[in-house]
Chain A
């Protein structure tokens, strides 16, 4: 790294003691760059194995990387924590202005521990933390309004970043999310949906890869109505970008709704949409009306819930009601039916309020709900994390299971299905190796906190040049070795906290519903999982130069 780069400054914040201090960690930033690489080290240092994720001492680590502020598309903040949702490693990436704001305030990482006795908010400026009282904001119906108030109180408009939780987070729903700049999220695992463009809805549905009605089908007859093209044509109101990003992938729909009680009186709501929430709160619930999907997305946003977990949980609950595993008595009188948005609007409210035992259980995720009520075969979660919207085939599903975050972004298995396995199947071990190679390379990108949208630009060659400009001189082999170290450090954390490759559950539904690539069974999946488990448990063998980074 560059000599005396403020990147190596780690700000520790103890909310309980209202104390903060700085430490220089050139050892970490010099070796692991930043982002995920430094994040996993700081998490391992500060979160001993077995710690309760909701304990006050359990840290949240936020990191940026050396390319932030220097090169375009290095725009992410990486959050590392022990997830209250899966009870294991949580990693979430968010853009907006957070990364540049943290880097510009003279920091590379922030480690937050402790709890506030009073609801509070934290203002970080010039490398110092200020503790402010937010009692007045607690319980506010909309997390969006709360953001607006904080914005008015704080200086440096444009260079700051506001992160906040909504009511779901206050009530400790395990898949609450943290939003930054209103429209970017540390979703997932109780702290991202994003990436995946809404233009995928129709093509994936045509191929049978769009999970529909709790994956009873891979095709949605109303895919056109909720497609990215339809939203762009009829609702797109504005596009926004993260700092230093020319792509502007954040699509904001303007939803204009009349008030029922007065003529010529409308409210216009600005709602961000992309592929993941459209799948989870649209096709997965069988909702055909694009405006209804938008209003459900808005509700989930306002409550501060993760869209994917919410959709998958409600889809499971609907099917469980159809099958009589869950009754209206359990739901407090609420009838959930595919296609009917009213039930789902009430459902997300009930999850947030944790109104009875059923909703409290559902607020802990679909696996918890299936363990209590049955229906594990159609509880669509992998590694405790509700599934992303890709019913593409074995690579996609193995990708969710083998990825350190159980996310489709870990290794882009869904892309291997579509681009390679449609041409013919390959041995399970070879597929596992491919997924691991891709994930290993992605550790570099997420440690430089480069947006995965830019993975085609940041090839290993260009990455080495960008790193050289940031004061890191290393060879391609050294870079690959660092990537492997980071990858393994994540799994070391996971294994120490109880992750077990052999205990991964596979909901049977994925084998029943025709996907883009078919003809895979549980035995094939288990062979791939066993292979990955062996590889990660044994010391590093000779590294193949993984110059992938080309999966999308």
Chain B
């Protein structure tokens, strides 16, 4: 299972997913969120949802010199914070810029595909689902 962006065109930019992801860790605000909503050059032009795509052979994990990023079943990675030195190399490796930075902890913030944010999205933008490639006859 992984978090999928079903249809970013339905996104209203409310950032409720960002608040949810932060709340998941017991914090208020959006400081710890692993999902970000960005406007495509002004909100009127639409929004893009930036979150980990759950790569099956994650480039971020490959560049980590400390083996702090462990490949996750279903794609993506899980951070082992005790190994992470905060070097930031993984951020460069993720070409969709889905690795965010925790300024307090000086460590990356990466989606763990728990699906908590999807429960709160009021507009059906997000869902926790099987990889489409794995679903036979995936309706695209």
Given contacts A69-B30, A158-B37, is CB(A241)–CB(B14) below 8 Å?
A: yes
Would you call A148 and B41 a contact (CB within 8 A)? yes
Residues of B within 8 A of A144 (CB): 42
B122 is an interface residue with CB less than 8 A from chain A: yes
Residues of B within 8 A of A97 (CB): 15
Would you call B14 and A147 a contact (CB within 8 A)? no
Would you call A148 and B42 a contact (CB within 8 A)? yes
B140 is an interface residue with CB less than 8 A from chain A: no
Would you call B14 and A246 a contact (CB within 8 A)? yes
Q: Which residue of B lies closest to A145 (CB)?
A: B42
Would you call A69 and B43 a contact (CB within 8 A)? no
Q: Interface residues of A, CB < 8 Å — how many?
A: 31
A240 is an interface residue with CB less than 8 A from chain B: yes
Would you call A158 and B36 a contact (CB within 8 A)? yes
Interface string of A123-164 (1 = CB under 8 A from B): 000000000000000000000100110010000011100000
A244 is an interface residue with CB less than 8 A from chain B: yes
A100 is an interface residue with CB less than 8 A from chain B: yes
Would you call A151 and B28 a contact (CB within 8 A)? no
Would you call B29 and A248 a contact (CB within 8 A)? no
Q: Which residue of A lies closest to B15 (CB)?
A: A243
Given contacts A104-B31, A158-B37, A246-B122, is CB(A238)–CB(B46) below 8 Å?
A: yes
Residues of B within 8 A of A252 (CB): 44
Would you call B42 and A159 a contact (CB within 8 A)? no
Residues of B within 8 A of A272 (CB): 44
Residues of B within 8 A of A250 (CB): 12
Residues of B within 8 A of A70 (CB): 28-29
Would you call A246 and B30 a contact (CB within 8 A)? no
A248–B42 Cα gap in the complex (Å)? 16
Q: Which residue of B lies closest to A246 (CB)?
A: B122
A181 is an interface residue with CB less than 8 A from chain B: yes
B16 is an interface residue with CB less than 8 A from chain A: yes
Would you call A270 and B45 a contact (CB within 8 A)? yes
Q: Which A residues, 99 to 113, have Cβ-Cβ distances below 8 Å to chain B?
A: 100, 103-104
Cβ-Cβ contact count across A and B, 8 Å cutoff:
67
* B10 CB → nearest A CB, Å: 9
Would you call B38 and A158 a contact (CB within 8 A)? yes
* B74 CB → nearest A CB, Å: 27
Given contacts A70-B28, A182-B44, is CB(A157)–CB(B14) below 8 Å?
A: no
Q: Which residue of B lies closest to A70 (CB)?
A: B28
Interface string of B17-39 (1 = CB under 8 A from A): 00100000000111100001111
A243–B38 Cα gap in the complex (Å)? 12
Q: Which A residues, 236 to 295, have Cβ-Cβ distances below 8 Å to chain B?
A: 238-246, 248, 250, 252, 270, 272
Q: Which residue of A lies closest to B44 (CB)?
A: A270
Q: Which residue of B lies closest to A272 (CB)?
A: B44
Q: Which A residues, 268 to 326, have Cβ-Cβ distances below 8 Å to chain B?
A: 270, 272
B59 is an interface residue with CB less than 8 A from chain A: no
* A279 CB → nearest B CB, Å: 22
Given contacts A158-B37, A248-B12, is CB(A240)–CB(B43) below 8 Å?
A: yes
* A149 CB → nearest B CB, Å: 11
* B22 CB → nearest A CB, Å: 9
Would you call A104 and B30 a contact (CB within 8 A)? yes
Residues of B within 8 A of A151 (CB): 41-42
A240–B19 Cα gap in the complex (Å)? 17
* A270 CB → nearest B CB, Å: 4
Residues of B within 8 A of A239 (CB): 12
Most buried by A among B13, B122, B123: B13
A240–B13 Cα gap in the complex (Å)? 6
A32 is an interface residue with CB less than 8 A from chain B: no
Residues of A within 8 A of B44 (CB): 182-183, 238, 240, 252, 270, 272
Shortest 4 CB-CB distances between A and B: which pairs?
A: A241-B14, A270-B44, A246-B122, A248-B12
**Other than the known A242-B14, A270-B44, what 4 A-B pairs have Cβ atoms closer than 8 Å?**
A72-B19, A182-B42, A244-B15, A245-B14
| Residues of A that sit less than 8 Å from B by CB | 69-70, 72, 97, 100, 103-104, 144, 147-148, 151, 157-159, 181-183, 238-246, 248, 250, 252, 270, 272
Listed A/B pairs (10) with beta-carbon separation below 8 Å:
A69-B19, A70-B29, A158-B15, A158-B37, A158-B39, A182-B44, A238-B46, A240-B44, A270-B44, A272-B44
